[in-house]
Structure 1
Amino acid sequence: MRKYETLFILEPSLDEEAVKAGVEKFKGVIENGGGTVDNVDAWGKRKLAYEIKKVNEGYYTLINFTADTELPKELDRVFRITDGVIRHLIIREEE
């Protein structure tokens, strides 16, 4: 089991309930894949450093989790097919 963190940005046009549902969806993917969620840090709506798809704001969320090496691949796949995700990043934390 390794420690990972993922940061993802959701579209600003989503309402508060849709943002919470998105975060719960990604937490569910981690927990159903055999991982454990260590921390969820919702940063809220922030301005992007540069415009992406004609959008300059987004809802930022950081999730720290522990999982085996296959789970980040599945999480990446789910991020890519989920509508409303502008950008995402999954990194392994240093030991």
Structure 2
Amino acid sequence: MNKYELTIVLNAKLEDEERAAAMEKINGYITRFGGTVTGVDEWGKKRLAYEIQKMKEGFYYFIKFDGASNTPNELEENVRIMEPVIRYLCVKQEA
């Protein structure tokens, strides 16, 4: 199992319930594709470095998880098409 970190930026206009549902869905994808969530770090609403889809702010989340080598690819395929996600990045952590 490899260690990964997924950074997610969600639309700032989402309600608390919608953000929680989106995060629950992402965590579900991780477990569905053989991963185990080890930690979720919520940074809250932050200003974006540049405007994305006419938005200047977004909610930042950092999810640490363990998974097989195919888990990030499967995860990105599903996160890419989620409506509330405006940016994402999955990286492998150094040992």
- For the aligned pair, the TM-score class normalised by the smaller chain equals over 0.9
Partner amino acid, structure 1, of 2:5: E
1:78 alignment partner in structure 2: 78
Q: Which runs of 5+ in 1 are unaligned?
A: none
TM-score, scaled to structure 2: 0.97
1:67 alignment partner in structure 2: 67
Partner amino acid, structure 1, of 2:64: N
Give the C-alpha shift of residue 34 in structure 1: 1.3
Partner amino acid, structure 2, of 1:45: K
Give the C-alpha shift of residue 48 in structure 1: 0.6
TM-score, scaled to structure 1: 0.97
Give the C-alpha shift of residue 79 in structure 1: 1.2
Q: Considering only aligned residues, what root-mean-square deviation do their CA atoms show, in Å?
A: 0.7
Q: Does 2:33 match 1:33? A: yes
List, as ranges, runs of 4+ consecutive aligned residues in structure 1 with deviation greater than 3 Å.
Answer: none
Deviations 1:36-88 (A, max 9, x none): 10000111111111111110000110000000011100110111110011100
Give the C-alpha shift of residue 17 in structure 1: 0.5
Q: Which runs of 5+ in 2 are unaligned?
A: none
